[in-house]
Amino acid sequence: MMRIATFNINGVNGRLPVLLKWLKETSPDVVCLQELKAPDERFPEAALKKVGYNAIWHGQKAWNGVAILSKKEIQEVRRGLPCDPEDFHSRYIEAITYQKVIGCIYLPNGNPYPGPKFEYKRKWFKRFTAHAKKLMAMELPVLLVGDYNVMPTTLDVYKPEKYLENALFRIEIRQAYQRLLKQGWTDALRTLFPHEAIYTFWDYLRFAYERNAGLRLDHFLLSPLVADSLKKGGVDKHVRGWDKASDHAPAWIEIK
């Protein structure tokens, strides 16, 4: 079995103790991290190497940032999405490891709606969908993993009526997610839990974690060659309750 996880760490250096504790506890084979909030030179490569992980990363000072960790050799394939040379946000990195193509994504939040941030989210999503289509056409084992900043259905949000005008739940964004799935991708967690409310994010405000007022923002999209070997998955919800935790909990799947 191979365990692949995703974790929006919300500041990789400030929450390094949380990350290392979780890695020691669960020992995933591959991890996709988002919101590093660190420039490339401040990524904690040595600390991760010490606990058995090779890494590639695409950092950015104070904002964004994505990384892929692997217990095996990892080869970077791409950083950033094609088709917009003026987009300097560190939101996508792609690698080959364990004989699989893994894309780690941090899709824009898009709030407030309406506005330029929402339009940027729509354009980014369109570029990502075009890239995903090319990956699907290659007929390779591909996983597109990370924080999509999308609640795809009403089952993915504790109070849907509250989020109708929120960029995470706007109908345009949910439709964009469905268009992506129609290329042939499998939403791993929703496939494993077809009728269950399963969340990966709880706001710091209003005791959201304690009330389980959560959102499912972190997703694993699998190409057919990977989807056929999907066995298990879940969310390490308890990590959200740790001291100085991220507002996201790590999510994971296991494939044969």
* Catalytic annotation, residues: 106, 147
Helix axes 171-181, 116-137, angle to 10 degrees: 10
Task: With H, G, I as helix, E, B as strand and everything else as coil, classify residue 160.
Answer: helix
Tokens of 217: 């923002």
- Dihedral sign from CA coordinates of 227, 229, 232, 235: negative
Residues 125 and 67: their CA atoms lie apart, in Å, by 19
Amino acid type, 170: R
Task: With H, G, I as helix, E, B as strand and everything else as coil, classify residue 22.
Answer: helix
Residue position matching structure tokens 């990350």:
19
Q: How many Cα atoms occupy the beta-carbon half-sphere of 145 within 13 Å?
A: 32
Beta bridge partners of 215: 157, 201
Phi and psi at 15, nearest 5°, equal -115, 20
